Amino acid sequence: MSQLIASCEDNLIHEDSVREAQRNLIDGLTATRLAQIFGALSDPTRVRIISALNERELCVCDLAALLGMTQSAISHQLRLLRTLGLVKHHKDGRIVYYELDDEHIRDLFQRGVEHITHVVLPG
Amino acid sequence: MSQLIASCEDNLIHEDSVREAQRNLIDGLTATRLAQIFGALSDPTRVRIISALNERELCVCDLAALLGMTQSAISHQLRLLRTLGLVKHHKDGRIVYYELDDEHIRDLFQRGVEHITHVVLPG
């Protein structure tokens, strides 16, 4: 990173670019909320739940069977995803079905999958 | 969550749905890598850096000036974003310019913004 620091020591700032970037920069509150959404997806189990719900609704028992986890562990993750607006649910009699909240979530997941198919990540 | 548990106590599993979901479910390694990508975006400062780079390339000095942070703090976050393949850089003389890695990252950011405009999050 020595070259970065060198260029900064020159105090070289591209004023036009910075001004332009400032105009469209998201504010602190929006950044915090976005970080919360992405944070909800920063856990492998929650990512797999989103993957499972990508094309269909499922109940908590289905998800537990699918992922080989306890129902209470799945419920815990679903609660978090629901609080942050990534999944929604509806009841049919005694059964509660979960599905992705909207197309943006489907797209978020899909864009993420597409991204990792073209970069090599550490680990 | 009592109703969820009640439905699970019945061991009600929608076998066809589970089988279908299993066919397209991402594997553990893919889930871990996706979670890493989303984890990189789970920090408000890194989200603002992505926002700043959304439409243009900037050098580390520009970003430091724009976000009111030290160059070393910005460099630290850029290194993490670069390791996970979210931003890339190129050099022009002594200056290192950063830009988003690809269209998927732009889309990830954009879909996230669109999502939070239609849900009310806690906090």
pLDDT at A17: 92
Q: Which amino acid belongs to residue A29?
A: L
Euclidean distance between CA atoms B46 and B28, whole angstroms: 26
Mean pLDDT, range B90-100, rounded to an integer: 92
Residues of chain B contacting residue A26, judged by C-beta atoms under 8 Å apart? 47-48, 51, 113
* Residue B42, domain member (yes or no): yes
> What per-residue confidence (pLDDT) applies to B47?
97
Residues B14-35 have pLDDT tens digits of 889 999 999 999 999 999 999 9
Q: Is residue A1 part of a domain?
A: no
Average the pLDDT over B108-115 and give the result: 90
Domain assignment of residue A80, given as a range = 15-116
Smallest Cα–Cα separation from A40: which of B9, B38, B87? Answer: B38
What pLDDT does residue A88 have? Answer: 97
Q: Find chain A residues with C-beta within 8 A of B55's C-beta.
A: 20-21, 24
A64/B8 Cβ within 8 A: yes
Look up residue B79 and give its amino acid. Answer: R
**Does residue A4 lie within any of the structural domains?**
no
Q: Has residue A2 been placed in a domain? A: no
User: Is the residue at B70 inside a domain?
Assistant: yes
In 3D space, the residue among B14, B13, B108, B27 whose CA is nearest the CA of residue A114 turns out to be B108
CATH number at residue B47: 1.10.10.10
- Residue A9 is assigned to a structural domain of this protein: no
The label of the residue with tokens 């954009």 reads: B110
CB contact under 8 A, A21 and B61: no
Q: Categorise residue B11: left if φ over 0, alpha if ψ from -120 to 50, beta otherwise.
A: left
Q: What is the pLDDT of residue B117?
A: 82
Using one digit for the tens of pLDDT, what is the confidence trace for A64-123? 999 999 999 999 999 999 999 999 999 998 889 999 998 889 989 999 998 888 765 555
pLDDT value at residue B121: 57
Q: Write out pLDDT tens, residues A19-75.
A: 999 999 999 999 999 999 999 999 999 999 999 999 899 999 999 999 999 999 999
Whether the CB-CB separation of B47 and A35 falls below 8 Å is answered with yes
Dist CA A31 CA A25 (whole Å): 9
Total count of domains within chain B: 1
Q: Check CB contact under 8 Å for B96 and A32.
A: no
Specify if A98 maps to a domain: yes
Q: Is there a domain that residue B1 lies in?
A: no
| B58: β partners | B98
- DSSP bridge partners of A100: A87
Count CB neighbours of A6 within 10 A: 13
